[in-house]
Structure 1
Amino acid sequence: MTILIEAAVESLDAALAAAEGGAHRIELCTDLAHGGTTPDLNLLQVQLPIPVFILVRPRAGDFVYTDAEHRTMLEQISRARSAGAHGIVTGDLSLDRTRDLIAAAQPLPVTFHRAFDVLPDRTEALERLISLGVDRLLTSGGAATAAEGADQIRALVAQANGRIVILPGGGITPENVARLVERTGVREVHFSVRDAEKVRKAVQALSAL
């Protein structure tokens, strides 16, 4: 069983290292210390050996955006799509505005960012995201880390029933990734990467499953 590894990176060097280590996909962003924001889209001019998804988030903090910020997000999605991004990672606590973001991203796949984890009714929210056409959901299960939210992630996987990919993220390491996959039934994982060795260790841990 192959578990897809998405590496969240802040630089081209880290992206190349992640690919070298065995990652299958990149999430390119900046300011990971604060949950990530939109990177310099000129970085997409460099060809990478694996698909690159771009995080579109104009600032750190909450996920309630002003009209001006929403317009910025739409513009950034358009630029990322034109620059060759393979997918868009974004999200707004207003699911109506998320519909606009998804439309702007077409035909690229869309990952709903961890804004999901602060929504009050995640069961209902998952159904809304599926109906909007979101392709995958990045979540810690509403907990501080994916390991702590494993039970909720497992419930989301069951509810999704193949209609949307549940992508756990938050505090995932080579030491806990295999156990998390076993507990939740996910088929993709997401963690930050700065060097190839972290990915190699995660690949090795997952190969035993």
Structure 2
Amino acid sequence: MKKNQLEIACFNYESAVIAEENGADRIELCENMELGGTTPNYILAEKVKEKLTIKMHVIIRPRGGDFVYSNEDFVQMKEDIQKFTKLGIDGFVFGILNSDGSVDKIRNKELVNLAGSCPCTFHRAFDVVKNVQESLEDVIDCGFKTILTSGQEKNVVEGILVIEKIQEQAKGRIVIMPGGGLRSSNIHLLKQKLEPSFYHSSAITDDSIIASPDEIKSLLIHLQNKKS
């Protein structure tokens, strides 16, 4: 039987340690929260990898802004994947779009193939694709194992109907991971409508960029149906 699991988006070493110590199943390592997350520094990734025993996925996003990348951006993304693969990380998170809002299948496939045995997540570039149904099929065809999405809205609560429809269309062919404004205060709303899955949250509850231990514990309580 499938079970709910929790991924914490970590923008620093401190959050990664907090995530593991408080029961998270996996982290997504990135930097520059104000830009929505970009490729982390290699030294940071190396330090986190040495410390953690849970799985660590790394975002490959050379800059903030849109997800239509130049040739120079793409070369950087390939180099980063090769570099982090040697570090032994557990997965990659990225997404490339065409200027018309469709999924860039050629370049995404190239990166997925470059990642080899490391599973790849198509990140929230999915939330700005022009056609959700077609894009879902394109992402699956590219070889991604997971889609991180807020249902094309600013947060998962507002996008819950789209997330539900995507999950139904996927029919288990790919993991649909809700993320974007996910907190312990609203996660029960998603659990009521969605099949068991990974859930994604930064677990940040204040003005800092550090994950909250209490928030992670609360998220897990809701996901695992445990009583506090």
Give your verdict on TM over 0.5: yes
Q: Shorter-chain TM-score category? A: over 0.9
Counterpart contact for 2:10–2:29, Cα < 8 Å? yes
Counterpart contact for 1:157–1:186, Cα < 8 Å? no
Match status 1:79 vs 2:96: no
- The one of 155, 176, 192 equivalent to 2:202 is 192
CA displacement 1:5-50 (0-9 Å, x = unmatched):
0000011111010111111000000012221000012223232020
Over the matched positions of the two proteins, sequence identity in percent amounts to 36
Say how many residue pairs are matched: 209
Aligned to 2:219: 202
Match status 1:175 vs 2:185: yes
- TM-score, normalised to structure 2, is 0.88
Quote the offset at 1:66 in angstroms. 0.4
| Stretches of structure 1 lacking an aligned partner (at least 5 in a row) | none
Quote the offset at 1:131 in angstroms. 1.3
Aligned to 2:124: 114
CA distance in 2, matches of 1:29, 1:176: 24
Counterpart contact for 2:29–2:45, Cα < 8 Å? no
- The one of 159, 163, 170 equivalent to 1:153 is 163
CA distance in 1, matches of 2:139, 2:33: 24
Spell out structure 1 runs of 4+ moving beyond 6 A: none
> Counterpart of 1:55 in structure 2: which amino acid?
I
Write out aligned runs for 1:112-151 (5 A). 112-151=122-161
RMSD of aligned Cα (Å): 1.3
Counterpart contact for 2:4–2:197, Cα < 8 Å? yes
Write out aligned runs for 1:29-40 (5 A). 29-40=30-41
CA distance in 2, matches of 1:69, 1:32: 19
Aligned to 1:51: 55
Aligned to 2:43: 42
| Stretches of structure 2 lacking an aligned partner (at least 5 in a row) | 98-103, 204-210
CA displacement 1:182-205 (0-9 Å, x = unmatched):
222241100113122110011112
- TM-score, normalised to structure 1, is 0.96
Aligned to 1:15: 16
CA distance in 1, matches of 2:147, 2:159: 14
Counterpart contact for 1:21–1:198, Cα < 8 Å? no
CA displacement 1:62-108 (0-9 Å, x = unmatched):
00000000000000011111111100001100222111111111110
CA distance in 2, matches of 1:95, 1:119: 13
Aligned to 2:101: none
